[in-house]
Structure formats: structure tokens, C-alpha cells
Amino acid sequence: MKFSTRTTYIAYISVLHVVLIFLVYRLLFEDKLLFIASEVFLLISIGVSIQLYQNFLRPNEFIKSGIEAIKEKDFTIKFVPTGKGEIDVLIEVYNLMIDQLREERTKQQAQHFFLEKLIAASPTAIIILDFDDCIASVNSRAVSVFKLDIKKINGQKLNDTGIPFLRKLHEIKNGESKIVKADGVQKFKVQRSHFMDQGFRRSFLLIEELTSELLEQEKNAYGKVIRMMAHEVNNTLGATDSILQTTRKSLAASADRATADRASADRIKSNFPEDFSDLRDALKVASDRNRRLTRFMRNFADVVRLPPPGVDEFDLNRLVENVVVFLQSTARQSGISLKIIKNEPLVVKADSGQLEQVLINVIQNALEACEAGNEVQVLIDDNLIIRNNGKPILPQEAQQLFNPFYSSKPDGQGIGLTLSREILLNHGFQFSLKTNEDGWTEFVIDCNL
């Protein structure tokens, strides 16, 4: 059995004084004066022993109080010197240590507060993960851009949040930088990195929106190419069509003269072995093809020359109803159901003509994705939703959506979706296009601005 120093000291002093009292009594009891003096000395010795014992306990009590204060993280407690050298040295060391700890703690709190404010105010979306790669915190920018519910996603892994964009971020490795596209036209540069916290690695994601910069560069690039192509093609087609028309008229005039003069007809036939009508038909086909090519280039140029929206207030219901009526015959011919399933009043501020063009393009695309028996629905609520249960958007196609002039159709030009994108961006409307897990493909436009 082990005894504490305190117990050993008390036992030793007790036994020692009991023995001394017994010896004094046996040896000096006859000499009254010496016996009394010895007893007084023993009493003084007992008092001194008690005092020494209390002096020994005082540092222990002091150390115990200091340890409790440090455990409670209370760095305001300091001890007053007692006037006793050994204890005062210990008190001085403790007070110095507490001052340094308090100063370090104050610095850390100030830095932590500063970093929290900096992260919260950052224009870059930031997601911080814990040691298990679960979401520990997100800043306000991330919440607003991705419409995150902090209570729902905190403590979850990126892949388990149920948010498609965050699932894409799960695949990014530490130290890797990647361009990630959201459901709409938005593109983000995502950088994943890490820092050491308490000896363990913690990851974080910096998400910077590149949409406006990339779109501006993209538009400048294809705008320059389209203008150059339109200039060269239109100049060539105009001159070529003029020659074709002149040749057709000349052949028509020659044919008329040949009818009156048989000899002239024989001479013309010797120069032109083909029948006049076949040649005129061929020239007409070439002329028509020139006109179609001119319209084709004009469609491209319209994307570049798109005027700023003329904003006015109007009822979106009426506009949608008119477009649905306009396309209803096309839907019936293909055996597709086209209807407005909910028609809530919604007044918007936009360019009605440009928004009508967007609706026509989007609904036509939805009809083209459907087969007989499928359905296209238009929902008007807080948002405008055009949805269909036709052919879904494939993963490889989803990455290309809203890229300029991209089309998944063999004969498609991709102009309709590109023009729609430019119109919606000019209005400041947010939009997205994706196929949901239930198989319905939705084009969502947030017009409630």
C-alpha cells in the first residue's frame, strides 16, 4: 500500500512527538523544572511542525487552484505575493504564465474573429470541411449562390447532400482546380485545398463564379467570327444570286425568242444541250439555296446584334397562352399534348417580344424531344417552367448545354438556345435546364425579379 507524502509526514511527526513525550516523562519526571521545560519545548515543536505542514500545503493548494483555473480556461485569475520567498517565486512564474496565456488567447480570439468576418464577407463562396470531410461551415456567399440550407447540410458529406452541384465537388481532390458547370449557364472555378488543425488535415473549397467573364469573352470571340463570316458570305451570295437571276431571265428570254424562231432554237440547243426547263430549274434551286444560306447567316448575326431589352409590364399568362395557341397545331400533328397545367397571375417587367421568342424556342425544343403520347406542360408560378417527359438530356449533352451554337440534333444549328440564353442574361433572369430523376426535363426561368 502506498501512502501520500501528506499522510507519511503526519504519521512521522505524530510518532516522533509521542516517543519524545514518553521519553521525557520517563527520564525527566523527577526533575520538575527540566520536565516542564522539555514539555514546553515539545509543545513548541508540535506548533512548528503544524506551521511547516501548513506551509507545505500552501503551494499545493496554490498549484491546485491554478490548475483548476487553467482547466476552466479562466486566465483572469492571478495570485498576490505572500512575502515568503519560495512561494512568491512560484506565484511570479504562475502569474507570468497566465499573462502570456491570456495574451495568446486574446490574439487567437481576435484572429479567429477576423477570419470569420473575412470568410463571411468574401465574394468567393467557401465551404469548410471537418476532419471526416463532412461540411463544417459555409459562408454567406455560398448560401446565397447555391440556395443552401445550413441546418440540413451541416455534418453531411458533399456526396450525401442531395444537391447536384455539391455532388460534383465531391470528386475534386486536394490541390486540384476544376471548372464546374451548374444546371444553368453558370460556371464556377473550384479549388480544393487543406490546412492543418490540431495535427490533422482539414479540407476547404474555394468556389469562384466565372460566368460573366467567360460569357463576355465567349461572346466577343464568336461575335467577331460571325461578323466576319456574315460580311464575306453575304457579299458573295448577293453577287452570286444576282448572276443567277440574270442568267435565268436571259434563258427565259431566249426560250421565248426560240419559240418564234426555229433556227434560233436550234442554235441555242447546240450551245446548251440540256433542256431549257431543266437548266432554269437548276438555277432556281441554286438561287433558293443562296437565300436559305443568307437567312442562315442572318440568324447567326441576330445573336450578335440582339438589341437591349425594352422593359415594360405585362401579364405573363397572356403571353404564354398566345405562344401555346400558336404551337398547339404543331403539337397535335405530332400527337403530343401541350397544355398549361397551372395558370397563376404573374406580372413581369421584361421585353415581351424577346421573351416570346424565348418561349417559342424552348417549347419547340420540348416538342422536338417528344414522341406521340408524350406531354409538354407549362407551369406559371413564382417561376416559369416548361417541362416534358420526352427524350431525357444525356450526361454528355448536359455538359454542353448553353454552349454557343451547340445542338444535339444532326441538322440543328443551336441558334435557338443560344439566342434564348442571351435574351435571359440581358434581362438578368436566372434559368436552368436539366432532366430530373423522375424523367421529366425542366427549363426553369426565374422571372420574379
β 375-380/337-343 pair status: parallel
Together in a domain, 331 and 419: yes
Together in a domain, 39 and 54: yes
Question: Nearest-5° angle of CA 169, CA 173, CA 175?
Answer: 115
Together in a domain, 330 and 433: yes
Is residue 111 included in any domain, yes or no? Answer: no
The enclosing domain of 326 has a CATH number of 3.30.565.10
Is residue 252 included in any domain, yes or no? Answer: yes
Q: Which of 142, 113, 111 is nearest to 129 (CA)?
A: 142
Is residue 406 included in any domain, yes or no? Answer: yes
Answer with the one of 273, 304, 335 that is the final residue of a domain.
Answer: 304
Together in a domain, 166 and 94: no
Find the helix or strand (DSSP H, E) in which 22 lies. Answer: helix 5-28
Is residue 130 included in any domain, yes or no? Answer: yes
Is residue 319 included in any domain, yes or no? Answer: yes
Together in a domain, 417 and 392: yes
Together in a domain, 325 and 341: yes
Q: Where are the beta strands (DSSP E) in 299-423?
A: 312-315, 337-343, 347-350, 375-380, 384-388
pLDDT at 312: 86
Together in a domain, 203 and 218: no
Residue span of the structural domain in which 295 resides = 213-304
Question: Coil, strand or helix: which one is 322?
Answer: helix
Together in a domain, 233 and 203: no
Together in a domain, 340 and 385: yes
Together in a domain, 263 and 240: yes
53 vs 12: CA distance, rounded Å: 12
Together in a domain, 201 and 218: no
Q: HSE (CB half, 13 Å, CA atoms) of 48?
A: 7
Split the chain (449 residues) into runs of 10 and give each run's mean pLDDT.
69 80 76 78 82 70 72 71 70 78 77 74 83 86 80 85 81 82 73 80 82 61 61 61 69 59 53 55 67 65 69 86 88 91 78 87 90 91 88 79 64 70 83 86 80
Together in a domain, 427 and 316: yes
347 vs 364: CA distance, rounded Å: 24
Cell output for 414: 443551336
Answer with the one of 106, 133, 148 that is the final residue of a domain.
Answer: 106
pLDDT at 211: 60
H-state helical runs in 261-315: 262-271, 276-304
Is residue 26 included in any domain, yes or no? Answer: yes
Domain total for the chain?
4
Q: Which of 365, 295, 359 is nearest to 336 (CA)?
A: 365
The enclosing domain of 189 has a CATH number of 3.30.450.20
Is residue 92 included in any domain, yes or no? Answer: yes
CA distances from 41 to 17, 240, 247 (A): 11, 136, 146
Answer with the one of 304, 335, 361 that is the final residue of a domain.
Answer: 304
What predicted TM-score, i.e. pTM, was given to this entire model?
0.52
